[in-house]
Chain A
Amino acid sequence: MLRIINGKVYDPANGVDGEVKDVCIDDHGRIVESIEGGRTIDAGGMIVFPGGVDVHTHVAGGAINFARAMTPEDHRRTQAFIRTKTRRSGLGGMAPTTFATGYLYAGMGWTTVNEAAVPVLSARHTHEELSDIPIVDKSTLTLIANNEILLDQLEAGAFERAKDVLAWYIWAAKSYGVKAVNPGGVAAWKWGSDAKQLTSPIEGYARLTPGVIITQLARICEQLGLPHPLHLHCNNLGAPGNISTTLDTLKHLEGSRAHIAHSQYHAYGGSGWDSIRSETTQLADYFNTHANITTDAGAVLFGDTVTITADGPWQHLLYKLTGRKWGNLDVENETGCGIVPYTYRPSNLVNAVQWASGLELLLLIRSPWQVFLSTDHPNGGCFWRYPEIIKLLMRADFRQECLKRLPDKIKKHITLPEIDREYSLYEIATAMSAGPARALGLTQKGSLGIGCDADIVIYEEDDDVQRMFGHPRYVIKQGEIVIEDGDIRETPEGREFLFKPSYSPDTEEFIRPLFEDCYTMSFENYPVELSRIERADVIEGVTP
């Protein structure tokens, strides 16, 4: 039992904006009205937030593991976690190791993370890694928009069958929702091509277009009753002028709920690398008039990182542009994957536009319930740099100072210099916790309401907001104090949220011959057993 008194509480889910009030936690790690006895934390002069929720990150699985293997140069220079009696060893840096990932997230007050890209084929590996990420609660999204068995159903117009197949995949991967990456583009990549036009048939298919995949997947996700809607990485990522593709994608989603991942990478105008400019105003206008769509920023921070995505064709282009290392994975019939280490430089026009665009989206989209803090870790920057973004959002004068370091010619390509909005603490709490929790459909997260999980972060009030958000005084996970004064006190195991949709009982026998026809493993070894998931928290879907 724990009582937090005298703290200024920011709890957007319940409309609490800086009110001094007590928060009580029972023995089950839930927030309750009142308790008898127990420890009391005097949070006088401190700020109480619900624990952070990362709606889109890459922390476990084949791709990030490949990135770790590809960047030994970063391991030599980065933060090392030395083993202690209660803590395992590990490395921070661009692609932190499993245990270090948990320590770093919890260390800055984040308590729930959503691993946003898991092929069914590497789901088992991903869950094994997730169980080695301590403290935080986790969920995963299954990569689906280039799965050939599913695409064949959509090509044939067999919507009900496609719905069953997708539902089966979600449960086979023991995941929480659906992620679509460059719909059709990665399938086309296997023919050496890409899919940049939503209305043109995809290489290898007669009729199927990216637009159809997007519309149908969004419908399926709604009909299956997924707590989190379709999580979409649009076609044509990173390319100058891709704003038209993104707006076209949004039109294909008209009427459905959806989450657009890392929208910064999808908001460019111009016709080439020299003329690239930010078109975030157009994109923000769309979000401001369509409350059914949420997004995360995918903000970029200057410095070294490693880019990892299922978007194979884009990564090949990035490799050709940079001449850096390139890793490419073919995930059988499901998806692809590319890895390229990258350095974002303020002197580079494209990078500067990307940096500005991420911040612009966070500032121009009016409701923090619609746009969330993310760097698409590790693509735009590492998650442990979130406090830097918070400072950029809360301090307009600091933004202006940073803008001075950019080349003059960039001013014509961005709108950031004209924006003077500053986030309040209430808005930060929404964009880092309450908003993403609501978008994920995790009702017990991102809220300090009665009955919610007692995931709480307490900061010592500080004018230097980067320092404040980087070094919480206390982090409480499920009622347990895990961080105190910068030290890791406890490393409890987090839970994993799964969604079990209902599907027709003959689906497995339908998929089996298709699978056995073309995969290199046996079908029996394909689905992940529920017993493999440590601390599973299953949400059952209702039969439609």
Chain B
Amino acid sequence: MTRETSADSRVILRLKRSPTVPLEAEVITPDVLGSLSNSEIRSLTVYHGKRRLPLGDFFDVEGEHSCDLELHGNMEKVRWVGRAMSQGSVTVHGSIGMHLGAYMSGGRIEVHGNASDWVGAEMKNGFIHIRGDAGGQVGAAYRGSLAGMRNGIIIIDGSAGLEVGMRMRRGTIILGGPARDFAGLQMKGGTIVLLAGAEIRTGAWMNRGTIISLKPLTLMPTFAFAAEFTPAVIPLIARHVAKFGVQLPSAASEGHYRMFSGDLAVPGKGEIFVWQPVA
């Protein structure tokens, strides 16, 4: 890590003008901004629709030479923030647009607000925490790609949209709120924890991987009921997610998990655990 240690050494970007069409701002990452001076940061190119404009047209920039970025404003049209970042941190106060942290390989992103679709899409590693809701395709593979997120952790406190963890290969996604349809679509590995359940077709086409739900799920007929027990891996996952303040029950006195395997239409070796508290 090459990040600065001093607490007040940060680059602060404040949105001063709302983009009228999506603003493609893949330059807003610690890897690009970290070594630049204030004026260099302001003159970076962003794409407002098809127009190339300097970053300074949309943001007031405070600070320089830091891998810790802070963003303020209503930025739901600002896309690709933290794209392919490998270090440092991005803290967002407000909402943020699509592709946040896509392809990232390290560092932390924290959003105090809502995020849009494709959070952490195809990420290789790193940590993303959304305090509000997220859109669809969290940690997913882009269209046509063989694999989505390869490692790392994504925590969404609120709800998420369609195709959460689509084709993910490794890593962990934790959802505090409900997910919509197709959570874990064509999943190849990794873990999805659904604290508030999901809508329909959870785990469709999954090859491998684990989905844990604390709420009952409507499963597809291609998932076969396998066993009623709490496998040894659950306490391990519980210990892992406890670091992020997430409580996963595993004590026999509280209940047990119903395990389903599938998707038999593939046929896959995925597993879905649904928590069954003692009555």
Chain B, Cβ-Cβ closest to A76: B142
Chain B residues contacting A72 (CB-CB under 8 Å) are 142-144
Known contacts A71-B144, A73-B144, A73-B145; can you find 5 more A-B pairs with CB under 8 A? A72-B142, A73-B142, A73-B146, A74-B144, A324-B146
Interface residues in A304-339 (C-beta closer than 8 Å to B) = 324-325
Closest to B143 in A: A72
Interface centre among B142, B143, B144, B146 (most CB of A within 10 A): B144
Note all chain B residues with C-beta closer than 8 A to A76: 142
CA distance A72 to B141 in the complex (A): 12
Q: What B residues does A71 contact at CB under 8 A?
A: 144
Min distance, Cβ B144 to any Cβ of chain A, angstroms: 4
The residue on B at minimum CB distance from A74 is B144
Ordered by A's residue number, 5 sampled pairs between the chains whose C-beta atoms are within 8 Å are A71-B144, A72-B142, A73-B143, A73-B144, A324-B146
Q: How far, in angstroms, from A72 to B142 measured CA to CA in the complex?
A: 9
12-30 of chain A: CB within 8 A of chain B: none
Query: Using Cβ atoms and an 8 Å threshold, which residues of chain B touch A533?
Result: none
Chain A residue contacts of B142, Cβ below 8 A:
72-73, 76
Task: Answer yes or no: A70 CB below 8 A from chain B CBs.
Answer: yes
**A window 70-98: CB within 8 A of B:** 70-74, 76
B145 / chain A contacts, CB cutoff of 8 Å: 73
In the A-B complex, list the 4 residue pairs whose CB atoms are closest, starting with the nearest: A72-B144, A73-B144, A73-B145, A72-B143
Which of chain B's residues have a CB closer than 8 A to the CB of A74?
144
Give per-residue flags for A253-267: 1 if the beta carbon is below 8 A from chain B beta carbons, else 0: 000000000000000
Report B158-213 residues with CB < 8 Å from chain A CB: none
A42-83 interface bits toward B, Cβ cutoff 8 Å, 1 = contact, 0 = none: 000000000000000000000000000011111010000000
Task: Mark B residues whose CB is within 8 Å of A.
Answer: 142-146
Interface of B is mostly: loop
A:162-185 near B, CB below 8 Å: none
Contacts of A325 in B (CB 8 A): 144
When distances are taken between beta carbons in the complex, the residues of chain A under 8 Å from B144 are: 70-74, 325
Roughly how many angstroms separate A457 CA and B89 CA in the complex, as a whole number?
Answer: 53
Within 8 Å CB of A70, what residues of B? 144
A107 to B232, CA, bound (A): 60
CB distance from B229 to the nearest CB of A (A): 31
Chain A residue, CB-CB nearest to B141: A73
Chain A residue, CB-CB nearest to B266: A323
Nearest CB of B to A74, in Å? 8
Chain B residues positioned under 8 Å from A324 (CB to CB) = 146
C-alpha gap A324/B207 in the complex (Å): 13
Report the separation of the CA atoms of residues A71 and B144 in the bound assembly, to the nearest whole angstrom: 6
A324 to B144, CA, bound (A): 10
Q: Which residues of A contact B146 (CB under 8 A)?
A: 73, 324
Give the chain A neighbours of B143 by CB distance below 8 A. Answer: 72-73
Distance in angstroms between the alpha carbons of A253 and B80 in the assembled complex: 60
User: A322-362: contact bitstring with B at CB < 8 Å (1 yes, 0 no)?
Assistant: 00110000000000000000000000000000000000000
The docked-state distance in angstroms from the alpha carbon of A71 to that of B143 is 9
Minimum CB–CB distance from B160 to chain A (whole Å) comes to 23
- A427 CA to B146 CA in the complex, in Å? 41
A343: min CB distance to chain B, Å: 9
Contact residues of A between 193 and 212, Cβ < 8 Å to B: none
A325 to B146 alpha-carbon distance, docked (Å): 9
Bits for A273-286, please: 1 = Cβ < 8 Å to B, else 0. Answer: 00000000000000
Q: How far is the CB of A39 from chain B (nearest CB, A)?
A: 39
Report the bound CA distance from A325 to B144 in whole Å: 9
Separation of A324 and B143 alpha carbons in the complex (Å): 14
> How far, in angstroms, from A74 to B145 measured CA to CA in the complex?
8
* Chain A: minimal CB distance from B83 (Å): 12
B265 smallest CB distance to A (angstroms): 13
Least CB distance from B143 to A in Å reads 5
Q: For the complex, what is the distance from the CA of A70 to the CA of B144, rounded to whole Å?
A: 7
CB distance from A306 to the nearest CB of B (A): 11
Complex: how many Å from CA A393 to CA B144? 35
**When chains A and B are docked, how far (Å) is the Cα of A73 from the Cα of B145?**
5
Alpha-carbon separation in the docked complex, A72 to B144 (Å): 5
CA distance A74 to B144 in the complex (A): 8
Most central of A71, A74, A76, A324 by chain B CB within 10 Å: A76
Task: Give bound CA distance, A76 to B143, whole Å.
Answer: 10
Greatest chain B CB density within 10 A among A71, A73, A74, A324 is at A73
Question: How many angstroms from the CA of A76 to the CA of B146 in the assembled complex?
Answer: 13
* Nearest B-chain residue to A324, judged by Cβ: B146
Chain A 110-130 per-residue mask, 1 if CB under 8 angstroms from chain B, else 0 = 000000000000000000000
A76 to B142, CA, bound (A): 10
Q: How far is the CA of A73 from the CA of B121 in the complex (A)?
A: 13
Q: In whole Å, how far is A41's beta carbon from the nearest beta carbon of chain B?
A: 39
CA distance A76 to B99 in the complex (A): 14
A74 to B142: give the CA distance in the assembly, Å: 11
A109–B89 Cα distance when bound, in Å, is 49
The minimal Cβ–Cβ distance linking B123 to chain A, given in whole angstroms, is 15
CB closest chain-A residue, reference B145:
A73
Assembled-state Cα–Cα distance A76/B26 (Å): 15
Q: How far is the CA of A324 from the CA of B167 in the complex (A)?
A: 13
CB distance from B9 to the nearest CB of A (A): 35
A477 to B180, CA, bound (A): 57
